[in-house]
Structure 1
Amino acid sequence: MSSSDIFIGEILGTAVLILLGGGVVAGVVLKKSKAFGAGWVAITFGWGFAVLSGVYISTELSGAHINPAVTLGLALDTGNWDHVWVYWAGQMVGAMIGAALVWIAYFGHFQAHLRDPAVAAAEQSAERPGGEGHRPHKGPGPVLGIFSTGPEIRSPWQNFATELIATTVLVLAVLRLGVNSDLQVTGLGGLMVALVVVGIGLSLGGPTGYAINPARDLGPRIVHALLPLPNKGGSDWGYAWIPVLGPLAGGALAAGISRLAF
């Protein structure tokens, strides 16, 4: 695979991942959406299908990493560091494109939701000291949660550990599925990864929203900060390092386990 193929493939795959993943969250939380209130199970399966779509779209061009933690885990496991920066660059660009497409697709719903007096008042209360049960820092509200993740209980060590553990499971599964030639030939590898992501969301997604992908969180968070959304609230940059470094540490740990065990 050439650098250009990898870059384009990762842009396409990650953009579709974020478009469909962020799109299901938008559908569930934005008022006047037909999916409004569908709940956590809809979100977890939506993200699983998003992974499946992104993988199948990008496999031929780039091998479908669509996640910097996967790229890091594969590099550490195989010792092949060629094109790592190309993968990461494509993933970040794709994630930002996907987030912008979610905003376009739900443009009217964002406007209606954020101009609702009750929502605007809640956002402003959350940003004032003592707002939302005296929480000192604003966490991801309905709008930021469409773009990036945040903890239900803000505890850096626990939040980091949750992301590390969840990403270790994901990347270890990817590494082991990658050595199964039958799955690669039949195309079932992508489906297996998607089901692992659904399982992680259902089992480990509750504490932090399971970023398990640095580009998936950081790229859309940047887009949230840049978009001209009324009453959108802050982008919670104080938390942003956890869904980046936690998954990268998980990818590295998965590679270490793989090398030791297999």
Structure 2
Amino acid sequence: MSSSDIFTSEFIGTMVLVLLGGGVCAAVNLKRSKAFEAGWVAVAFGWGFAVLTGAYISQTSGAHLNPAVTLGIAIKGDTDWSDVPVYVGAQILGAMAGAILVWITYYAQFEATLKTPEAAEQKAANPGQVHGVFFTSPEVRKPFLNLLTEVIATFVLIIAILTQGLVKDADGTVGLGKMGALITALVVVGIGLSLGGPTGYAINPVRDLGPRIVHALLPLPNKGGSDWTYAWVPVVGPLLGAAIAGGVYNLAWG
């Protein structure tokens, strides 16, 4: 498979992943949305379906959609290290595009939420008023524990992916097949329900970093800060979790 094929597939798949995942967060958190205050279960299932849809779209590239997945598969030995930058570059740009589409889709709801006296009074908040639509933040801010949570949750995701039996297509590309996409989506729902409470379960560096960059750049009134002091946790944690999962897989089953 060519680098352009990988890039296109991962870009579109990750864009849809973040559009639907960020979309459920917007639906639940923004005023004048029909799903306002629908709750955590809706968010967990929304992200699961987002993974499922993005993974089906990006079957051509193996449906990684996540640098942690790419890293885990590369450590297992099923993805060439030379392809890793292509995967990651496409994923972060796709995540940014998806976040922009969420903003466009929910433009009126962002306005209704942020153009209020309460939002104006809290415009210096860090993280800002609508941060949950774009990026994660911990309920209890203890960076080391928050990092461990992301490591553990991502370990579960990657070890589940590596042990389910990845699919190799005719040109040697390895990744989630159609059944693997469904299994992984259900794993993501399970992680959200079981392990997502402390940090919001990024478990994907670009899912957090790409939309965080977009949040910082968008002209949202009274949006508050983008919480850059925490931004390293949902990047480093998932990568560490993926590296550990890849190592454990090679030791136990390699």
Scaled by the length of structure 1, the TM-score of the pair is: 0.90
C-alpha contact 1:30 1:142 (8 A) present in aligned 2: no
How much has 1:201 moved relative to structure 2? 0.2
C-alpha contact 2:128 2:225 (8 A) present in aligned 1: no
Question: In structure 2, how many angstroms separate the alpha carbons of the residues matched to 1:196 and 1:89?
Answer: 25
Q: 2:204 aligns with which of 209, 213, 232?
A: 213
SS at structure 1 position matched to 2:237:
helix
Matched, 1:260 2:251: yes
Question: In structure 2, how many angstroms separate the alpha carbons of the residues matched to 1:69 and 1:243?
Answer: 11
- Number of aligned residues: 246
Question: In structure 2, how many angstroms separate the alpha carbons of the residues matched to 1:82 and 1:64?
Answer: 17
**Structure 1 unaligned runs (5+)?**
128-137
How much has 1:241 moved relative to structure 2? 0.2
Question: Which residue does the alignment assign to 1:243?
Answer: 234
- One-letter amino acid of the counterpart of residue 145, structure 2: Q
Q: 2:132 aligns with which of 145, 160, 164?
A: 145
- One-letter amino acid of the counterpart of residue 113, structure 2: H
Question: In structure 2, how many angstroms separate the alpha carbons of the residues matched to 1:185 and 1:258?
Answer: 17
How much has 1:154 moved relative to structure 2? 0.4
Question: Which residue does the alignment assign to 2:31?
Answer: 31
**Percent same amino acid at aligned positions?**
63
- One-letter amino acid of the counterpart of residue 230, structure 1: P
Question: Which residue does the alignment assign to 1:13?
Answer: 13
In structure 2, do the counterparts of structure 1 residues 115 and 94 end up closer, same or farther at CA, with 3 Å as the change threshold?
A: same
C-alpha RMSD of matched pairs (Å): 1.6
- One-letter amino acid of the counterpart of residue 15, structure 1: M
Structure that is richer in helix per residue:
1
Question: Which residue does the alignment assign to 2:121?
Answer: 121
- One-letter amino acid of the counterpart of residue 213, structure 1: N
**Structure 2 unaligned runs (5+)?**
169-174
Question: In structure 1, how many angstroms separate the alpha carbons of the residues matched to 2:165 and 2:237?
Answer: 23
How much has 1:109 moved relative to structure 2? 0.7
Question: Which residue does the alignment assign to 2:74?
Answer: 75
SS at structure 2 position matched to 1:178:
coil
Question: In structure 2, how many angstroms separate the alpha carbons of the residues matched to 1:14 and 1:186?
Answer: 16
C-alpha contact 2:167 2:177 (8 A) present in aligned 1: no
Question: Which residue does the alignment assign to 1:94?
Answer: 94
Question: Which residue does the alignment assign to 2:40?
Answer: 40
SS at structure 1 position matched to 2:38:
coil
Please list the CA deviations of residues 151-197 of structure 1 after superposition, one character each: whole Å capped at 9, or x if unmatched.
0000010000000000000011111123478xx99721111000000
Question: In structure 2, how many angstroms separate the alpha carbons of the residues matched to 1:191 and 1:55?
Answer: 9
Question: Which residue does the alignment assign to 2:214?
Answer: 223
How much has 1:82 moved relative to structure 2? 3.0
Question: In structure 1, how many angstroms separate the alpha carbons of the residues matched to 2:29 and 2:69?
Answer: 29
How much has 1:142 moved relative to structure 2? 4.1
Question: In structure 2, how many angstroms separate the alpha carbons of the residues matched to 1:67 and 1:209?
Answer: 16
